Amino acid sequence: MRTPGSYCTGLQGFDATVEDHQIIVENRRTGAGVRITVDRPLHRLNFWSSRTTVCPENYVLLRVPPGGRERWISTYRLYAKDR
């Protein structure tokens, strides 16, 4: 659901490789950011934002049979650049 003052879109242009599943969101004014890496290929990427917030929504494709199990690792690294 879209709220007033917000924006949501699907992004394209990535390959179905693990190497392409790396996302960086950085505030260029402050130098603070987050780097997201996942050990599975990116299946879909949506991007949502409002006036004060940005949110990449990354998805992996899972095919799990009944009673089966699946596992993946998502890593979020927060950082601040020295000024």
The predicted structure's pLDDT at residue 62: 93
Flag whether pLDDT at 1 surpasses 60.
no
Helix (H) or strand (E) holding 79, with range, is: strand 74-80
Give the pair of three-digit tokens for residue 17: 């490789």
Flag whether pLDDT at 2 surpasses 70.
no
Long-range CB contacts for residues 10-16, cutoff 8 Å, separation at least 24: 10/44, 10/45, 10/46, 10/47, 11/45, 11/46, 11/47, 12/45, 14/42, 14/45, 15/41, 16/41, 16/42, 16/43
Average pLDDT value over all residues in the chain:
89
- Identify residue 19 by its one-letter amino acid code: E
For residue range 28-64, list pLDDT tens digits in order. 999 999 999 999 999 999 999 988 888 999 999 999 9
